[in-house]
Structure 1
Amino acid sequence: MTPEGADGAPGQSADNPFPVRGVAIRVAGWIDRLGAVWVEGQIAQLTLRPNSNTAFITLRDPAADMSLSLTCPRGLVVNAPVKMSDGTQVIVYGKPSFYTGRGTFSLRVSEIRAVGIGELLARIERLRRLLDAEGLFDPRLKRPIPFLPDTIGLITGRASAAEHDIMAVASGRWPAVRFAVRHTVVQGPNAVPQIVDALRALDADRDVDVIVLARGGGSVEDLLPFSDETLCREIARCTTPVVSAIGHEPDNPLCDLVADLRAATPTDAAKRIVPDTAAEQALITELRRRSARALRNWVNREAHVVSQLRSRPVMSRPLAAIDARTDEIGRARTAVRRDIARLLRVESDRVGHLSARLTTLGPAATLARGYAVVQTVPDAGDPRILGSVADAPAGTRLRVRVADGAITATSEGGQ
């Protein structure tokens, strides 16, 4: 590069700068070489000036915060086969151009085609398959809706029937419910950015327990923002449960599939989010009645069981069996005593007989008949019964026991 202040090519130094016209002409030449292109987008702003033959259009990319300025002949818009208005999805054919007089870029359009319903539906179907493949519709990712939300975040159009229906039905079912309402446009090119901003604000609010995205029914073009990829991904990123209440039963935008709960109508959303006070009170009353009846039945059943147990003879008269056996026990006791007495008499007689026989056969009786027991009395030791004459030589001391006592004697030897 040439040093500042040195001579060189135009525009390469402060001493040899390009004039404005030089830059503008060169930029116009570069852009002119781009050639004509087909571009698809959504009309964000359409301006038809009364005294101008040129229409000015701002074409927006629904999936990004980007836009292009278009210019075209007035008749191209006025004579279009479909009405051109803000929010219309179109495909244009034009040549990029740079206006040197104002230094602005635009696309000079020579043909405009409105995207048909079939093409819109096909595009939505392709996006549906893409999001489904990424798992955004997986039921396992659905967040549970709280039973009784304290604050409901509501995203809807200003003074819309959807807002009136949700607030009226929810307040009628649970008067204490509160709302955090965010008004946005619900169709057209500005709908998606506003709805996404409102969704982020409500999701960041810790007081909001559930978010409802509500809109009345409409055509496919009217509901197109609710099938926008940016909005669907934002719903999937929310940490607060999101309820989709878009349109009526036949309407099925893609946000219905991403949301945690899909309601057929705004009224249905209010009914499914907020419990009915009267119905819940009736349910509590019914449950209390049923529990009280069940408790009474259980008490009566158990009381009947206890009554049956108490009515049994063993419980009502526990000593009846013993009383019934009293006579039998008395007779048994008498018989036992009689048998014992008889046994004692028999055994007493037997003992007496044995005693008499023992007395008759004993030594005392023999001694009483004149017999005597002679014992030798040694100098040491116990006396021994004299059984032989040889055992008592002369001089042996003897002890003679008779019936009434004992005497001592001395042996004189055998004869």
Structure 2
Amino acid sequence: MTSLSQDSSGPDSPTGEAAPWPVAELNAKVKQWVERLGHIWVEGQVTQVNMKPTWKLSYVTLRDVEQEASVQVTLSTSTLRSMTTPLKNGDRVIMYGKPAFYAGRGSFSLWVTKVRHVGIGELLARIEELKRALAAEGLFDPRLKRPLPFLPRRIGLITGRGSAAERDVLSVAQSRWPAVQFEVINTAVQGPTAVPQVIEALEKLDRDPTVDVIIIARGGGSVEDLLPFSEEALARAVSRISTPTVSAIGHEPDNPVLDNVADLRAATPTDAAKTVVPDVLAEKQLLTELRGRASGALRGWVANERRGLHNIRSRPVLADPLLPVKQQQDIVREAMQRKDRALGLAVRERRNHISSLKAQVNALGPSQTLARGYSVLQVVPRDGSGPAVVTGVEQVQPGSQLRIRVADGSITAAAMGVQAAPGGVEKKNTTTTNNEADNNDD
């Protein structure tokens, strides 16, 4: 176990327990080390100016614009009084001086001999350069923009305490939707403390699961007043959080870097409230209009369907479903009737034709001739064959057996003699057999 009296100084320590430095010597050596830095330029924002006309020296607190860091500045009162624009809190300046360490009281300060305001043009140029750098990284990409909820349950509001921006957002939002809820965090909205306070508020609201959207609001002001909302630290903080963010800084012409990183840029705090919170009256009117349009469309559709059904039901095929069958039956029946009429006509025509032919046959047949007083003379051969019609005298010999056919019967006779006509008669092929004569008798 190490004794308390043992020398605990390190191997590189310039002192030892046995020979410690006096405070004066420590301060003297620190003074030497600090003053080796020489003259330097420093940029920051003025947060406090202590000056009196009777003082030879004045004191200023210079603060970092993005982080919680500050340095005490000492300069002659005449230097402050000779400035064209008086130095005041919130000014963005650059100072030329030499780090100084006061050995008597062991305090550090920056001894300044020159003070320059950062010009508006230079500030705007730096802002534009920052915009280009962040855009190149993709922080302004529209695809990264998160959509705002239609009806947020709870809205986070970051703004100055008692500011007009806070009153405008709250009054406009509540007039549009009385049930809307807010989680308000008041922060500095200008000066060196604005950026860290706004970032802290952002992270706090982002961790709250009930907050659906965050509004960062500030009223109008000069370029210097709106500088905190163009700081890189704030822009990156907004890009990191997951809750949709609305930027409502200044008025319409103002365009800090925050506008480009936020998910939505509102021209004014009032416009932000109108964008985030729907108008209950307008929504109710829209619902009423939509209901009316839907009801009218439904009624029109029902009316059209009814007309269509009526037209369909009024068609003969639906009035009498068997109508097509009946129509086909009528067609078949009519076709059969036409067929029967045509067939009957054809039969009658054939019968008439047969009757006509029969009448002609009867008129030209032997029976009709016999009926007119004529007779048919047949000779009966001795060989027993059938009788033959006598057409010439050469067929009959004296003593030949004859058969004389008359209309009502036949007469058997014998030839007493045969005499040929004088000069002879041209014979025609009119030989008729016994069967033909018998048939003619029928």
Q: TM-score, normalised by structure 1?
A: 0.76
Give the alignment partner of residue 210 of structure 1, picking from 194, 210, 213: 213
1:41 and 1:59 in contact (8 A); partners too = yes
Aligned-partner SS, 2:7: coil
Aligned-partner SS, 1:292: helix
In the aligned structure 2, how far is the partner of 1:116 from the partner of 1:189?
Answer: 18
Cα gap change, 1:108 to 1:307, in 2 (>3 Å): same
In the aligned structure 2, how far is the partner of 1:62 from the partner of 1:120?
Answer: 13
In the aligned structure 2, how far is the partner of 1:9 from the partner of 1:331?
Answer: 133
2:68 and 2:193 in contact (8 A); partners too = no
Q: Deviations over 1:304-350 (max 9, x none)?
A: 111111111222233445666569739948998xx9xxxxxxxxxxx
In the aligned structure 2, how far is the partner of 1:74 from the partner of 1:66?
Answer: 24
Q: Find runs of 4+ consecutive structure 1 residues off by over 6 angstroms.
A: 333-336
In the aligned structure 2, how far is the partner of 1:225 from the partner of 1:285?
Answer: 45
What amino acid sits opposite 1:59 in the alignment? Answer: L
Cα gap change, 1:331 to 1:102, in 2 (>3 Å): closer
Give the alignment partner of residue 102 of structure 2, picking from 95, 99, 104: 99
1:10 and 1:17 in contact (8 A); partners too = no
Does the alignment pair 1:21 with 2:31? no
1:153 and 1:211 in contact (8 A); partners too = yes
1:244 and 1:255 in contact (8 A); partners too = yes
Give the corresponding residue for 1:343: none
In the aligned structure 2, how far is the partner of 1:241 from the partner of 1:203?
Answer: 9
Give the corresponding residue for 2:333: 329
2:66 and 2:196 in contact (8 A); partners too = no
What amino acid sits opposite 1:64 in the alignment? Answer: Q
After TM superposition, give the deviation of residue 217 of structure 1 in Å. 0.8
Give the alignment partner of residue 239 of structure 1, picking from 226, 242, 257: 242
What amino acid sits opposite 2:234 in the alignment? Answer: L
Q: Deviations over 1:41-79 (max 9, x none)?
A: 111222225753222112112133222211111222233
Does the alignment pair 1:272 with 2:275? yes
After TM superposition, give the deviation of residue 187 of structure 1 in Å. 0.8
Aligned-partner SS, 2:183: strand
RMSD: 2.7
Q: Deviations over 1:90-119 (max 9, x none)?
A: 010001110001111111000100001011
Give the alignment partner of residue 187 of structure 2, picking from 181, 184, 204: 184
Figure out how many residues of one structure are paired with residues of the other and give that number: 338
Does the alignment pair 1:134 with 2:155? no
2:67 and 2:196 in contact (8 A); partners too = no
1:72 and 1:108 in contact (8 A); partners too = yes
Give the corresponding residue for 1:84: 87
Which stretch has the larger CA shift, 269-278 or 38-47? 38-47
1:152 and 1:209 in contact (8 A); partners too = yes
What amino acid sits opposite 2:95 in the alignment? Answer: V
After TM superposition, give the deviation of residue 33 of structure 1 in Å. 2.2
Give the alignment partner of residue 146 of structure 1, picking from 144, 149, 155: 149
What amino acid sits opposite 1:329 in the alignment? Answer: R
Give the alignment partner of residue 259 of structure 2, picking from 247, 256, 260: 256
Structure exhibiting the larger radius of gyration computed from Cα positions: 2
In the aligned structure 1, how far is the partner of 2:101 from the partner of 2:305?
Answer: 96
1:152 and 1:180 in contact (8 A); partners too = yes
Question: Structure 1: where are the runs of 5+ without partners?
Answer: 340-415
Aligned-partner SS, 1:165: helix
Aligned-partner SS, 1:222: coil
Q: Deviations over 1:356-395 (max 9, x none)?
A: xxxxxxxxxxxxxxxxxxxxxxxxxxxxxxxxxxxxxxxx
In the aligned structure 1, how far is the partner of 2:77 from the partner of 2:331?
Answer: 131
Cα gap change, 1:18 to 1:305, in 2 (>3 Å): same
The percent identity for this pair of structures is: 53
After TM superposition, give the deviation of residue 138 of structure 1 in Å. 0.8
Q: Deviations over 1:238-294 (max 9, x none)?
A: 111110000111000000000010000001000110000011011111111111111
Aligned-partner SS, 1:59: strand
Does the alignment pair 1:33 with 2:55? no
In the aligned structure 1, how far is the partner of 2:171 from the partner of 2:206?
Answer: 23
Mapping of residues 266-345 of structure 1, within 5 Å: 266-320=269-323, 329=333, 332=336
Give the alignment partner of residue 57 of structure 1, picking from 60, 66, 76: 60
Q: Deviations over 1:178-223 (max 9, x none)?
A: 0100111111111111111111111111111100000011110010
Mapping of residues 154-165 of structure 1, within 5 Å: 154-165=157-168
1:42 and 1:88 in contact (8 A); partners too = yes
Question: Structure 2: where are the runs of 5+ without partners?
Answer: 1-5, 344-442
What amino acid sits opposite 2:170 in the alignment? Answer: M
Give the corresponding residue for 1:400: none
What amino acid sits opposite 2:60 in the alignment? Answer: I
Q: Deviations over 1:158-179 (max 9, x none)?
A: 1111111111110011000001
Aligned-partner SS, 2:61: strand
1:232 and 1:255 in contact (8 A); partners too = yes
1:54 and 1:72 in contact (8 A); partners too = yes
Give the corresponding residue for 1:194: 197
In the aligned structure 2, how far is the partner of 1:28 from the partner of 1:320?
Answer: 121
Cα gap change, 1:302 to 1:29, in 2 (>3 Å): same
2:66 and 2:192 in contact (8 A); partners too = no
Give the corresponding residue for 2:439: none
Q: TM-score, normalised by structure 2?
A: 0.71
Mapping of residues 162-181 of structure 1, within 5 Å: 162-181=165-184
